[in-house]
Amino acid sequence: MKRAVITGIGAITPIGNSVNDFWKNLVNGTSGADIITKFDTTNFKTKFACEVKNFDPAQHMERQEARKMDLYTQYAIAAADECIKDSGLDVNTVDRSKIGVIVATGIGGLQTLEDEIVNYINGGCIPRFSPFFITKMIANIATGQISIRYGFQGISYTISSACASSNNAISNALDLIRLGRANIILAGGSEASITPASIGGFNSMKALSTLNESPVTASRPFDKTRDGFVAGEGAGILMIEELEHALKRGARIYCELAGYGAASDAYHVAATHPEGQGAVMAMNEALSDAGISPDSVDYINAHATSTPVGDISECIAIEKVFMNSLSKINISATKSMTGHLLGAAGAIEAIACIKAIENAIIPPTINFEERDPNLNKLLDFTPLKAINKQVNVALNNTFGFGGHTSTTVFKRFKH
């Protein structure tokens, strides 16, 4: 069976518009949360989020081109640009028919949709819409724009499975590489859903934190006082490459994408199973697919959104899967710093796993002040400060509305 390795990474996040800045701020425990600047939140219950800061699409494309794209597509292109540059790939000397793109999103071009509807209503219900409305808004278009930009003619599609979306995109890429259907796949996710409809909708579900007096401490996974997730935005793109293809072109290899697991809670549209059934299945399947025993895992980047119920169910699942090796595993919730990037969460958290392996550093869970007494005391959440630790195997968990569960396994590369 063919093997897949990671040869490039790119990121646009609330704590850095490059992988280096993102990683530096993760290790330093920097929060990306602040008062929302994208719209007036006067009448909203939640007034803060983890916005991307100082993003200039003109650094990546012509301004006229940017006007034809929703922000989520702009983020995806910026992350893809960095990923390709990081990989050292000369796109003019490779078979572009064997390069695919799978960029996931949970929501797609929501801001474009909102803007067009508002313009329609304010225009007296005259059906005058931008000719770019549909091609800015549809969920697949970030994938399409990246393929067009680079002339990649291989497999190209989008996955939408809520907050599991980009982890599923990475998983699909692994299967396609294994099957020989592609030499390279750019996989990941992008989201730009800090909009009135999104914040208002999640507020109505009582899913968001309302700690308006202290945004930087609002995302507090595993803490006794957590009260909901903090919305985030951005994109993460990974170059997933067939091993022999990477070796032949002399690529730098970060690590191996060793396996994945996916399942469904089949329980509730918005809540994870209280006993973590889908999560247990996904983690067990991922370990089996990678040929790795539970006691070989060094680090888990938890889904851990900072919701009262979700964090507990994930921890119960981790206990079940790693019951004999809990004491040797470090867990961290990088959403404590980035907020929840929804469909892009799995991609930037995969990058956190990759960098943890590369640098032998585990990023912390910040804002962890008082442990939830319902959580097993053996679970090490890497509180407040990053630690130095050799990481040979890292797991990345993502769970989405609708019961979607997905786990990917990254391991130190050995020929």
Active site residues per annotation? 163, 303, 340
Phi first, then psi: give them for residue 272, nearest 5 degrees.
-75, 155
Sign of CA dihedral 25, 28, 33, 37: negative
CB 31 within 8 A of CB 211: no
Closest CA relative to residue 179, chosen from 85, 100, 65, 70: 100
**Residue 266, CA distances (Å) to 207, 278, 310, 401, 402 in order:** 20, 8, 15, 11, 8
In whole angstroms, what is the distance from residue 381 CA to residue 182 CA? Answer: 37
In whole angstroms, what is the distance from residue 379 CA to residue 328 CA? Answer: 9
DSSP letter at 74? H
Sign of CA dihedral 71, 76, 81, 85: positive
- Cβ-in-10-Å burial (0-12, 13-18, 19+) of 40 comes to exposed
Q: How many CA atoms lie within 13 Å of 178's alpha carbon, on the beta-carbon side?
A: 14
The neighbour count for residue 65, using CB atoms within 10 Å, is 15
Tokens of 282: 């996904």
Beta-strand pair 48-49/34-35: antiparallel
The radius of gyration computed from the CA coordinates of the chain, to the nearest angstrom, equals 20
**Residue 237, CA distances (Å) to 79, 102, 415 in order:** 6, 9, 24
**β partners of residue 313:** none
CA 131-11-41 angle, to 5 degrees, is 65
Amino acid at 252: R
DSSP letter at 279? H
